[in-house]
Amino acid sequence: MTRALLRLRELILRGEFAPGERMSELRLVKTLGVSRTPLRLALAALEHEGLLRGRGTRGYVVREFSQADISDAIELRGVLEGTAARFAAERGATPAALGELREICDTIAEVVHRADYESFERFVDLNERFHARILRMAGSPMLDRALDGIIALPFASPSAFVMAQAVLPESRDILLMAHRHHLGLLDAIERGQGARADALGREHALLARTNLEVALDHPEVLGQMPGASLLARSHLEQV
């Protein structure tokens, strides 16, 4: 089922299926090379994630997302990541965990000012490691599951807009702000300042909302991002 799930999610985010399109089991069995049982499990999982919408006995259709949907998902991620940072601060991070977080920040500082495409690819990996490290420090399986559901949605993950920042000067400025947030989160967690860590985690996530607004003004860049085809057509026609 996992292979079918990953492949089908990739195809949806790549725009192989239009919003509102029904997911034909017969076609998908041939495309994915799997039997109907793992396919149906994958379809149900993607409905749970929010990429598909159930139609009762008529199966599933691809979901369309409005700008408000994406904005809400980003804000909810901020609530959860802020809570993770607060847990990490209040529950006492180990010296080893703090050292790893500091090492990630130090490496980010080396690449964040460079403008080449390779440095942005490197930032994606470092950024994902930073957020994953804080989540592990929080020590909450409940938070893990809740965040998994949010970041699976288009544009909602911490690194969703990083590659757009590689070509948009406005977004590159936001990238520098994101790095300052990383440093602030590290400091707050190290000092055990739960409320400050929570607030910074929420503010940090909301940078993605600003990035979304920048990307919407550049359809040529937005169209290259995973999940862009799922954004409501009515909005894309306005930009």
What domains appear along the chain, each with residue ranges and CATH number? 2-62 (1.10.10.10), 67-233 (1.20.120.530)
44, 55 contact by CB (below 8 A) = no
| Residue 238 scores a pLDDT above 70 | no
Closest C-alpha to 130, from 91, 166, 88, 171: 88
Torsion of CA 234, 21, 71, 131, to 10 degrees: -150
pTM over 0.85: no
Least confident stretch, 27-31, 116-120, 220-224: 116-120
Q: How many CB atoms lie within 10 A of CB 69?
A: 19
Which pLDDT score is estimated for 94? Answer: 93
Give the torsion sign (CA, 58, 64, 68, 73).
Answer: positive
Phi, then psi, of 77 in degrees rounded to 5: -60, -40
Q: What residues have CB less than 8 Å from 102, skipping those under 6 apart?
A: 186
Look up residue 231 and give its DSSP letter.
B
89, 138 contact by CB (below 8 A) = no
- Going along 50-163, which residue ranges are E strands? 52-54, 60-62
Which pLDDT score is estimated for 153? Answer: 83
Helix (H, G, I), strand (E, B) or coil at 7: helix
207, 195 contact by CB (below 8 A) = no
Which pLDDT score is estimated for 162? Answer: 67
Which pLDDT score is estimated for 191? Answer: 97
| Residue 163 scores a pLDDT above 70 | no
Query: Which range scores top for mean pLDDT: 32-46, 114-128, 178-192?
Result: 178-192
Mean pLDDT for 121-131 is 88
Helix (H, G, I), strand (E, B) or coil at 43: helix
Query: Which range scores top for mean pLDDT: 12-16, 112-116, 140-144, 161-165?
Result: 140-144
